[in-house]
Structure 1
């Protein structure tokens, strides 16, 4: 198992920066004391790419006091069209390092914990034990998503699973709900199938799709786009599309929309937690 993490070093707010002025709008929106509450909260984002980078951006700008970034990828030129930390000067940098630097510019008091690794069935239990908090799954691998869903249930951690953003063009098609309700998303469909087949989640009733019978809820919170996935025109009829966003067309209007919605979900959980 590969697991490398930087030590969390808290940053003091520079004397010339006013936290009330920087994050006071949150108190006016969510209620007095909300900014202080968020400053004491921890959110973990698995995957710092097209969706995860925008979720981290929003969480940092909302004054969340501790963010854990999990990813082992590096910034590439092909990321520039949709990932917030991807700019010319960050090419070749670890995504978590480039994003952590941006978080520090937004909120110097935030503890940005960098985990230079990919989530896998081998390390998920260790990571979730080491970093308890609100979890956002912004990965695009079935094995990673499945491992997080199963382990989150074991450890009782709040988890939001983000579906596919590749091949989508309509940000107004974003949906939120239980995994049993997700449509037009091959990634979430595979997760749902695996959970029912191998992990004890309740199966859908026979003929549910045809009879409009409602499948039992699975207790897995998800985001997805209710839009048919657009295949690149250059792909022939026999092209194997796969389930990740790699190879599909992508747009920042889609990745950012999903990432910001994921951050909203995390903020609502963080604000609702008992002190």
Structure 2
């Protein structure tokens, strides 16, 4: 990666040692939706060459407003596959591993979390998020997590802090509560917002015959069923690209800054 003309502008900031560390870092990202997709692209465009992206979902037309890999042409296709193809076109030398799998307590053992330097959490599901954070906090890796990016409009109210110090975010509050119940006291940085817009969610037709999502799964009886994730979504919250994207960029920035600051040759981002 150092000396690659495609990354010349980045190397001017990060230095040769920093670029080398980025190329060597192993990152796994859970969730490639409105937050994770932007995070993934920022990482690859900056110089990360070993990236595993995990998501079980397929692309829905309602993803178009905020998810980087979504176009009208690929509705119904696999999110991680579409994103991996895009990332590969940006950096052909990068090893992008797409995993179409949901992370939960039943599948956690299939992910060798300890093999990665960085674990990035951009999962929507609260129970799955907490399980990942509890598991990753016990591994010898650095964890960065996104809290709630939905129901937000003001990017100036985005903050980065310890999960235990975050304020004003209902999701972060619930994550802390559930981590305490599990006896987890490990610390990690999270991206959150103090803003909350009331009345920006709805109990929609998600998972019903009126759902917008592509229905690609055949149930046991032979009938076409809604996507598994949608059937579990009791409420859909409003979200916009400039907020979910900003959360993703913050996560990518935390990884890049941590990698470069460990380079040890004086190159690094300012505090």
Checking the alignment, whether the CA contact within 8 Å between 1:134 and 1:270 is kept in structure 2 is no
CA 1:129–1:45: 2 relative to 1, 3 Å:
closer
Within the candidate set 213, 218, 222, 2:190 is matched to 222
Give the structure 2 partner of residue 58 of structure 1: 42
Within the candidate set 45, 66, 81, 1:82 is matched to 66
Residue 250 of structure 1 pairs with residue 242 of structure 2: no
Residue 261 of structure 1 pairs with residue 250 of structure 2: yes
SS in 2 for 1:33: helix
Deviates more, 1:77-86 or 1:123-132: 123-132
SS in 2 for 1:135: strand
CA deviation after TM superposition for structure 1 residue 261, in Å: 0.5
How is 1:54-133 mapped onto 2 (pairs within 5 angstroms)?
54-129=38-113, 131-133=115-117
CA 1:224–1:104: 2 relative to 1, 3 Å:
same
Which whole-Å CA distance do the structure 2 matches of 1:68 and 1:20 have between them?
A: 22
Checking the alignment, whether the CA contact within 8 Å between 1:162 and 1:224 is kept in structure 2 is yes
Checking the alignment, whether the CA contact within 8 Å between 1:26 and 1:34 is kept in structure 2 is no
CA deviation after TM superposition for structure 1 residue 35, in Å: 2.2
Checking the alignment, whether the CA contact within 8 Å between 1:183 and 1:226 is kept in structure 2 is yes
Q: TM-score, normalised by structure 2?
A: 0.80
Give the structure 1 partner of residue 227 of structure 2: none
Give the structure 1 partner of residue 199 of structure 2: 231
CA 1:188–1:233: 2 relative to 1, 3 Å:
closer
Which whole-Å CA distance do the structure 2 matches of 1:245 and 1:164 have between them?
A: 16
Q: TM-score, normalised by structure 1?
A: 0.79
CA 1:30–1:36: 2 relative to 1, 3 Å:
same
- Size of the aligned set, in residue pairs, is 236
Which whole-Å CA distance do the structure 2 matches of 1:184 and 1:245 have between them?
A: 23
SS in 2 for 1:155: coil
Give the structure 2 partner of residue 163 of structure 1: 147
CA 1:88–1:170: 2 relative to 1, 3 Å:
same
Residue 37 of structure 1 pairs with residue 21 of structure 2: yes
Which whole-Å CA distance do the structure 2 matches of 1:88 and 1:174 have between them?
A: 30
CA deviation after TM superposition for structure 1 residue 233, in Å: 7.9
Checking the alignment, whether the CA contact within 8 Å between 1:169 and 1:254 is kept in structure 2 is yes
Q: Which runs of 5+ in 2 are unaligned?
A: 204-232, 265-271
CA RMSD, Structure 1 to Structure 2 (Å): 2.4
Checking the alignment, whether the CA contact within 8 Å between 2:134 and 2:184 is kept in structure 1 is no
Deviates more, 1:47-56 or 1:156-165: 156-165
CA 1:86–1:200: 2 relative to 1, 3 Å:
closer
Give the structure 1 partner of residue 268 of structure 2: none
Q: Deviations over 1:182-232 (max 9, x none)?
A: 22222211110111233253xxxxxxxxxxxxxxxx512111011123323
CA deviation after TM superposition for structure 1 residue 131, in Å: 4.4
Q: Deviations over 1:240-263 (max 9, x none)?
A: xxxx89521110010000000000
How is 1:177-196 mapped onto 2 (pairs within 5 angstroms)?
177-196=161-180
